[in-house]
């Protein structure tokens, strides 16, 4: 098993599949009266978050606690970071405290790779800048496999603000690794310059992509990361690339709708679509805990401990 999970590229197909299979076993705990395992008792997991987060931070915290690990939540706000402390000095402090794993979310792309050089424990990337978010890609893959029974050969359309989306980057590589066919659908201004090097196809027409998609994943417009006008108006964007009830009917029977959250209801996805039976958005949140339990379990030697 790998030591760090900094990028989807850290995984090969066998390791990614092992994580998904282990997550399935972890999900079975949700039906038990006592939802905890003693596997990581005595281990310390630090949630090191330099950006605001609700789902991801709580999901990692719940995952670690269900494995009986000790959890330290570190927020940049109200810490020595606000006094100018560097990431390296923070890392050395965590190292001195004996952190076995550090889950990091940081506005700078590449921060988890730097952190891994400064601590002895495992590093898990919970989102770095506009780079990657590998556990989100794993939970998305797990959700697709749970709903549709397979990943190999699935047609997945990822729609929206690909340029600023770490979720899109991780999903393209993860889904390609596991055998799915990925299409990115977005206006040209919201696609990265080096998109030709990605293992996916590109389309500018959502209506053309929907009828041949088993999964459509809507991305949030990240206006907080935009410093220019990438489209004429929110209304125009929603008209061209928003998923409403009429477009939902264009999907094949059995196709599902996903969104990594948080959603801009009425912009990239209509409220009635987000709340429809085809939506997996709530499932993704629940599956996130199981997948992150699997990641922590395997990274911190749970597999060996159980043998």
List helix spans (H) across the chain. Answer: 13-27, 55-66, 87-96, 111-116, 134-148, 166-177, 206-209, 234-241, 245-248, 271-274, 281-299, 302-306
Task: Decide: 220 and 262 in contact? Cβ < 8 Å.
Answer: yes
Answer yes or no: are the C-beta atoms of 226 and 202 closer than 8 Å: no
Q: Is the bond preceding residue 33 a cis peptide, omega within 30 degrees?
A: no
**Can you say whether the dihedral through the CA atoms of 142, 192, 204, 275 is positive or negative?**
positive
Active site residues: 55-56, 83, 105, 133
Residue with tokens 């990641």: 295
The label of the residue with tokens 């800048």 reads: 129
CA distances for 224 relative to 79, 107, 227, 228, angstroms: 23, 12, 8, 11
Residue 138 contacts residue 295 (beta carbons within 8 Å): yes
Burial of 132 (0-12, 13-18, 19+ CB in 10 A): buried
């Amino acid at each position: 098993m790998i030591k760090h999970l900094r990028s989807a590229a850290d995984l090969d197909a066998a390791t990614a599949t092992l994580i998904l299979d282990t997550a399935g076993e972890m999900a079975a705990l949700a039906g038990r009266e006592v939802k905890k395992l003693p596997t990581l008792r005595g281990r310390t997991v630090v949630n090191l978050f330099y950006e605001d987060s609700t789902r991801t931070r709580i999901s990692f915290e719940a995952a670690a606690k269900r494995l009986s690990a000790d959890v330290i939540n570190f927020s940049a706000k109200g810490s020595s970071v606000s006094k100018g402390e560097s990431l390296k000095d923070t890392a050395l402090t965590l190292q001195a405290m004996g952190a076995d794993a550090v889950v990091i979310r940081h506005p700078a792309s590449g921060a988890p790779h730097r952190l891994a050089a400064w601590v002895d424990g495992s590093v898990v990337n919970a989102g770095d800048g506009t780079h990657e978010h590998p556990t989100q890609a794993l939970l998305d893959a797990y959700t697709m496999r749970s709903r549709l029974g397979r990943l190999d050969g699935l047609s997945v359309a990822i729609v929206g603000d690909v340029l600023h989306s770490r979720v899109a980057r991780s999903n393209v590589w993860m889904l390609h690794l596991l055998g799915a066919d990925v299409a990115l659908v977005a206006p040209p201004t919201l696609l990265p310059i080096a998109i030709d090097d990605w293992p996916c196809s590109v389309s500018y027409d959502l209506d053309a992509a929907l009828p041949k998609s088993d999964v459509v994943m809507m991305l949030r417009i990240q206006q907080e990361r935009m410093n220019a006008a990438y489209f004429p108006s929110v209304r125009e964007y929603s008209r061209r690339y928003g998923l409403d009830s009429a477009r939902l009917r264009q999907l094949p029977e059995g196709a599902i709708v996903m969104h990594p959250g948080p959603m801009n209801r009425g912009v990239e996805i209509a409220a009635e679509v987000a709340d429809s039976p085809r939506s997996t958005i709530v499932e993704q949140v629940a599956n996130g805990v199981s997948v992150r339990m699997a990641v922590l379990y395997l990274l911190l030697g749970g597999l060996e401990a159980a043998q």
